[in-house]
Amino acid sequence: MLTVDQAVETILTHAHVGREVRRTLADPCVGCVLAEPVISDIDSPPMTKALMDGFALRSADCTSANAQLHVVEEIPAGKVSEKTIQQGQAARIMTGAAMPSGADAVIPIEYTTMVSNLVTIQRSVPVGQHVLPQGAEMRVGQTVLARGTKLLPQELGILATVGKADFLVYESPTVGILTTGSEVVSPSEFPPPGKIRNSNGSMLFGQIHRAGGVPRMFPHVGDDRTALSHAIANALEQSDILLITGGMSVGAYDYTPEVLQEQGVTAYFHKIIMKPGRPLLFGTLGEKMIFGLPGNPVSSFVCFELFVRTAIARFRGLTNPELPRVELPLAGNLAVDHNRPTYAPGVISIINEKMVIQPLEWFGSADLQALSQANALLELPAGKTEKQLGEHQAVLLLQEL
């Protein structure tokens, strides 16, 4: 069996980046990943500009309070002055307007008194006060967004600023979901004795969407080898990444590993040294990736976040595909004993202005209710772990797009 780190390394070795596709600022592309660097075609700001409503002036004229200056013009945003501010002069200026030649500072209007065309400056003014120099944000020819950058609303603003109305991003993978098991019924059906509702399908659909993939649900299939073979073949044709839940152990009706082998899938591992989620399968068929996930909901969730999410992130072109890992102080005492490395649900919160991690009480791989409260996973080693309030604990952040 592989460790979690070995399994992740194996997945990343066989994962590939998706095709490059063109998108525009009119497309819904928050969360997409740039497949090209973006270079500015302008200085930003394109001119030295005022950051406050007030008066543009020469700081040398205002080395002490109550200097009096002649106002020679008014400069609204969008206008470029043709005048040069001379000694003893000032210009009324609005926020965002281009600074006139000769002026090197702005005094906010609330620190002035104006009578006719004479303004009194009530305090001294240092060089550069409330002025943003041309090119302070970016310069012509500067790379402002690197290849591999995830596009959030602020990055879309940068694209618009530099005139990049269309751009290349990596496509998102189609991630198929095939749930299995004769004991599983639809969420809309009241389960008869011996049956359970299909929670994994809906949960995985949401996890795929949150990870930036395009989820596709295929019809549920029971423990019938022929039906399973047809269902897997159909799902593989229509998926970049296929997730199959259930049928991964060694029971009499656990057909999935054998069916995958018959269809030409190369399996690289089938078990992981971890809890929850030991019976995890990963394989490939050409460039398609296949994950066999455990049937227990919490096991399936954790395996998705550690492994499937990583594969989706690599496909989307992200350079750091794994969940962020941080060390946080514990919000209480921790005493556990696990026979395998364990990923336990926890809640990150802020107490007394400090970010802390609080382990959640849970009873194992079927406790989806406890998991619903979690925004992090505690990484716990095999064996006994005893820590006191305030000691640091490694956690993985369960982040959205």
The pLDDT tens digits of the residues spanning 195-247 come to 988 899 999 999 999 999 999 999 999 888 899 999 999 999 999 999 999 86
Cα separation, 77 vs 82, whole angstroms: 14
Burial profile 328-342: b = 16 or more Cβ within 10 angstroms, e = fewer: bebbeebeeebebbb
Cβ(247)–Cβ(181) below 8 Å:
yes
The tokens for 348 are: 């990150």
The neighbouring-strand residues paired with 350 are: 355
Confidence check: pLDDT of 362 > 90: no
Confidence check: pLDDT of 335 > 80: yes
Confidence check: pLDDT of 279 > 80: yes
Confidence check: pLDDT of 252 > 60: no
The tokens for 308 are: 């499937």
Confidence check: pLDDT of 249 > 70: no
Omega within 30 of 0 (cis) for the link into 45:
yes
Please state which of the ranges 12-16, 57-61, 162-166, 185-189 shows the lowest mean pLDDT.
185-189
Cα separation, 199 vs 346, whole angstroms: 21
Cα separation, 401 vs 384, whole angstroms: 35
Pick from 285, 295, 170: nearest CA to 239:
285
Cα separation, 317 vs 84, whole angstroms: 51
Pick from 185, 54, 207: nearest CA to 121:
54
Cα separation, 212 vs 240, whole angstroms: 13
Cα 76 to Cα 92, 138, 215, 359, distances in angstroms: 8, 24, 51, 57
Residue 364 confidence (pLDDT): 73
DSSP string, 320-355: --SPPEEEEEBSS-EEEEESS-EEEEEEEEEETTEE
Helical residues (DSSP H) of 15-162, grouped into ranges: 153-161
Confidence check: pLDDT of 144 > 70: yes
β-pairing, 49-50 vs 383-387, is unpaired
pLDDT digit string (tens) for 12-42?
999 999 999 999 999 999 999 999 999 999 9
Per the document, the length of the chain is 401
Q: Name the average pLDDT for the chain.
A: 93
Cα 211 to Cα 67, 145, 178, 182, 376, distances in angstroms: 60, 21, 18, 29, 15
Q: What are phi and psi of 219, to 5 degrees?
A: -60, 140
